[in-house]
Amino acid sequence: MKQDTHVTTPQGFNVLPTSNHLQIPSSIILCLPFTKLKPLFSLAQSRVLIPPTAANQAQSGILAISIGKLIISPFPHHLGVLKAFNYLIVLFNQPAMGGSRTRHTDYFFKLPDFSASKKMVGAVERSHNNVLSNGSLHHSNGAEERLDELRRILSKSDGDLLKIVSVGAGAWGSVFAALLQDAYGHLRDKVQIRIWRRPGRSVDRATAEHLFEVINSREDVLRRLIRRCAYLKYVEARLGDRILYADEILKDGFCLNMIETPLCPLKVVTNLQEAVWDADIVVNGLPSTETREVFEEISRYWKERISVPIIISLAKGIEAALDPIPHIITPTQMIKSATRVPMDNILYLGGPNIASEIYNKEYANARICGAEKWRKPLAKFLRQPHFIVWDNSDLITHEVMGGLKNVYAIGAGMVAALTNESATSKSVYFAHCTSEMIFITHLLAEQPEKLAGPLLSDTYVTLLKGRNAWYGQMLAKGELSPDMGDSIKGKGMIQGVSAIGAFYELLSQSSLNVFHPEVKTPIAPAELCPILKTLYKILIRRESPAQAILQALRDETMNDPRERIEIAQSQVFYRPSLLGQP
């Protein structure tokens, strides 16, 4: 094909010779009307191509727009705009000189390196050879053998699907479902993996714009959406011409609380009865504050059920009950009370995990706690090369510790913001908060030293990157206030807030008094936890500003962290009644 040398090259582009061997992936064409092309000019990484000979054919002089790896054109028939690798090919009909006949002219423009196939930091390369039609990855690392073993234990016959559903679509619940989908989703004749979330939650314009930027920064996600004919709705949402819904985007792999980490496509169900009525394994991905209500509804759908489901709870939070004696209520206990499922079939999975990092295959570990019958086979089933799952029998205590670390993470965020990230101040806070947590574990466990590793590691990662620490920072900076509640847009439920109220009110009960060796009198355990007490005043009673957390650290009457631990170790502190045990 002969190159037209008289055509002016658009600024920033080079005219290249044509090649008969260039492969053109037509799947990346998207045609939009001119009215929707104009607003796209302002997008980052966009270019407008206007060959002079075609200007009189294109309204407003718009021929095509390149956004990242996608070319958008208003001409679906006589003009095609395609892209192959880093080349743009413009094809249009041009009137021949001195006659009415037309001849076909091709222009090949080399694109500047303005897109560079950018990927998000921490993104995982996913081989196209391993991606199946449902968007999951085919693994050959023994997944089918592990699935077959679990099916055998559950007495699943051939042709009878193992049905797993995650209830709740927060960050961790969505990632957990996506991990299972990636690992086992290709075995569609043996397992069904779904996720339930409430319908009707709309995505605001700002979030839709940010979501569009995320999509166009990830070539793998962009190609997947185009292949699934799902990209256009995100363009329309970006332009304000369409409202997206949380359950709708979750099907494409976008969790509303974590849109910067695209997941694999998920099978989403918005009808709770449809999701759970015959599920073999139900994953509780709800906040602790919503667990009781949703599982009470689930129990109505299980009245006629013969087989007993397995429930894995991911929730980290507690409630406090003061009658007849002060005690803690955990999410697994809420589930048991609501559904009458025996405790042997309810497990807790927890660990020092940040959801987005786990999906991006950062090395992580967790513990699944509960009865031996289920925890050992489930630990094996959930284990992946980058996600190591151990098993443990101490369910309730691990669950309580998962809620306790959220309390002190909020304070850590406040200290970080108020001291301009002072390493010294943060370390002082860490010393005091860990001593308070160790003190509290002596009340909750007969052998508290066994909890030190899980508690401290979970606390550490939450202080580094958890949403509760982020919440504390935003409070201290004045960007959020306690009056705004604990459900935050883009982050979900801040479970540490309710946990502060529960732990403080529980540990303030006189029936739990401990002997203080210095004042020689019994006092409530909460009086030996000044950080917990201060957080309660800031967030629950709302009578102190965030700056009060620093005043608590500087209080000369505050015990040396070592002394607080010595007080706990010098007495028989253990109160089994706190965990509902005789």
CA–CA gap between residue 108 and residue 468 (Å, rounded): 52
The Cβ of residue 61 has, within 10 Å, a number of other Cβ atoms equal to 13
CA–CA gap between residue 96 and residue 76 (Å, rounded): 22
Q: Looking at the domain that runs over 395-579, which CATH code has it been given?
A: 1.10.1040.10
Placement of tokens 């699943």 in the chain = 156
The domains of the chain are located at 14-110, 128-200+259-285+351-391, 395-579
- Write the DSSP symbol of residue 131: B
Cβ atoms of residues 16 and 112 within 8 Å? no
- Write the DSSP symbol of residue 560: P
- Write the DSSP symbol of residue 165: E
CA–CA gap between residue 477 and residue 474 (Å, rounded): 5
Taking the CA atoms of residue 36, residue 40, residue 46 and residue 50 in that order, the dihedral angle to the nearest 10 degrees is 50
* pLDDT recorded at residue 464: 85
Model confidence at 27: pLDDT above 60: no
Query: Helix or strand or coil: residue 83?
Result: strand
Model confidence at 121: pLDDT above 60: no
For residue 3, CA distances in Å to 23, 99, 109 come to 19, 20, 12
Model confidence at 83: pLDDT above 50: no
Model confidence at 46: pLDDT above 70: no
The Cβ of residue 153 has, within 10 Å, a number of other Cβ atoms equal to 14
pLDDT tens for 131-168 read: 443 344 445 579 999 999 999 999 999 999 999 999 99
Between strands 346-350 and 364-369, the pairing is: antiparallel
Average pLDDT over residues 75-91: 36
Average pLDDT over residues 525-553: 94
| Given the residues 83, 156, 233, 405, the one annotated as active site | 405
What is the pTM (predicted TM-score) of this model? 0.78
Average the pLDDT over each of 69-73, 144-148, 211-215, 374-378 and give the range with the smallest value: 69-73
Cβ atoms of residues 539 and 500 within 8 Å? yes
As its CATH architecture, domain 128-200+259-285+351-391 has 3-Layer(aba) Sandwich (3.40)
Reply yes or no on whether 520 is catalytic. Answer: no
- Of the ranges 65-79, 342-356, 453-467, which is most confident? 342-356
CA–CA gap between residue 30 and residue 233 (Å, rounded): 12
Model confidence at 120: pLDDT above 60: no
Average the pLDDT over each of 29-43, 79-93, 341-355 and give the range with the smallest value: 79-93
Taking the CA atoms of residue 449, residue 455, residue 459 and residue 461 in that order, the dihedral angle to the nearest 10 degrees is 110
* pLDDT recorded at residue 531: 95
Q: What angle do CA 431, 535, 520 make, to 5 degrees?
A: 65
CA–CA gap between residue 375 and residue 367 (Å, rounded): 9
CA–CA gap between residue 485 and residue 289 (Å, rounded): 13
Among 492, 153, 168, smallest CA distance to 298 is for 168
Mean pLDDT of the chain: 79
As beta bridge partners, residue 268 has 195
Residue 503 CA, distance from chain mean position: 26
CA–CA gap between residue 557 and residue 297 (Å, rounded): 49
Integer Rg of the chain from CA? 29
pLDDT tens for 394-416 read: 888 889 888 899 999 999 999 99
Average pLDDT over residues 522-534: 92
Which token pair is 82? 């395609």
Cβ atoms of residues 236 and 242 within 8 Å? yes
Sheet order of strands, 64-67 included: 29-31, 70-73, 64-67, 46-49
Among 382, 44, 93, smallest CA distance to 238 is for 44
Which token pair is 288? 């602790």
The Cβ of residue 517 has, within 10 Å, a number of other Cβ atoms equal to 12
CA distance between the termini of the chain = 88
Query: Helix or strand or coil: residue 67?
Result: strand
Q: How confident is the model at residue 556 (pLDDT cuts 50, 70, 90)?
A: low
CA–CA gap between residue 352 and residue 199 (Å, rounded): 30
Which token pair is 127? 């081989």
Average pLDDT over residues 536-548: 96
